[in-house]
């Protein structure tokens, strides 16, 4: 009985092997298509112009952090120690982030931050116990990268700066929203020029009297804390570095 072999079992085994032999090429094709899809998806996330950025710092409400860059200056270098880029698709926004989530930021070994000084032009008033404060920040400015090769001057744009203190999340917003004469925020102004090397430069600035709205973000619901005069200037330099993949 131990050496008995059933012909029925052999037929079933052969049938299963035949099905697997037919399915295996299809599975390999599917894996190949999936791999190509992933590559295409990553490529679509690299539609950017990598840039460097520099904050003016001189008495401003938004300034560089205390840490120096990999080149021993205060400039933020895209693809080297910070995320700095402009989107070439969709919104054409400018992005600067010191949140340290990219491999090149971790590889640099430098924890770049941004300094916020809420008391600089507000009679010394600040909503925080310590002022100025150093934070990891994400800055985004709408539609900075122009599809038009010509330069433009003083275009009003929206700027949002996200930051956290402990477990509390905040947004500093320049968006032109006017609630009343005491509660209003201004736009930032953006100018695009071209330097001698044919590379574009952008100046993003708020005047000394322009106000930003500070919002507290609690579980997706935002509450206005107050309005603050926050002068600043960011100069953005187009580079020839490879695109930044977001």
The model's pLDDT over 53-83, given as tens digits with 9 standing for 90+, comes to 999 998 899 999 999 999 999 999 999 999 9
Could you report how far apart the first and last alpha carbons of the chain are, in Å?
A: 66
Q: How far is C-alpha 100 from the chain's CA centre? A: 11
DSSP state of 159: E
- Label the pairing between strands 152-157 and 114-116: unpaired
Computed on alpha carbons and rounded to an integer, the radius of gyration of the chain in Å comes to 26
Residue 81's pLDDT is 93
Each residue of 189-223: pLDDT tens digit? 999 999 999 999 999 999 888 999 999 998 888 99
Please name the residues in contact with 191: beta carbons below 8 A apart, sequence gap of 6 or more.
151, 152, 153, 154, 155, 202, 203
**SS3 call for 240:** coil
Residues with Cβ within 8 Å of 87's Cβ and at least 6 positions away in sequence, in order, are 47, 48, 93, 95, 145
Q: Quote the pTM value.
A: 0.80
Residues 6+ apart with CB under 8 A from 62: 55, 114, 115, 116, 117, 161, 172, 230, 232, 234
Check pLDDT > 90 for residue 44.
Answer: no
Plot region of 76 (φ>0 → left; ψ -120 to 50 → alpha; else → beta): beta
pLDDT in tens, 140-161: 999 999 866 678 999 999 999 9
C-alpha angle 118-138-107 in degrees, rounded to nearest 5: 120
CA distance 5 to 3: 6
């Amino acid at each position: 009985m131990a050496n008995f072999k059933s012909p029925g079992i052999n037929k079933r085994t052969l049938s299963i092997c035949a099905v697997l032999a037919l399915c295996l090429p299809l599975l390999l094709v599917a894996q190949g298509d999936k791999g190509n899809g992933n590559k295409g998806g990553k490529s679509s996330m690299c539609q950017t112009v990598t840039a460097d950025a520099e904050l003016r710092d001189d008495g401003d409400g938004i300034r560089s952090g205390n840490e120096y860059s990999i080149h021993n200056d205060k400039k933020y270098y895209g693809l080297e120690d910070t995320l700095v880029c402009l989107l070439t698709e969709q919104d054409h926004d400018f992005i600067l982030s010191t949140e340290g989530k990219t491999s090149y930021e971790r590889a640099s070994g430098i924890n770049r931050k941004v300094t916020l000084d809420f008391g600089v032009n507000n009679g010394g008033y600040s909503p925080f116990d310590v002022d100025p404060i150093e934070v990891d920040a994400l800055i985004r400015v709408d539609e900075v990268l122009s599809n038009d090769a010509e330069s433009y001057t003083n275009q009003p744009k929206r700027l949002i700066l996200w930051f956290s203190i402990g477990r509390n999340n905040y947004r500093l917003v320049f968006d032109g929203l006017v609630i009343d004469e005491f509660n209003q925020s201004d736009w930032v102004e953006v100018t695009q020029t071209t330097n001698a090397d044919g590379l574009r430069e952008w100046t993003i600035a708020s005047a000394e009297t322009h106000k930003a709205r500070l919002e507290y973000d609690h579980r997706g619901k935002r509450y206005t804390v107050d309005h603050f005069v926050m002068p600043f200037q960011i100069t953005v330099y187009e580079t020839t570095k490879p695109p930044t993949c977001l």
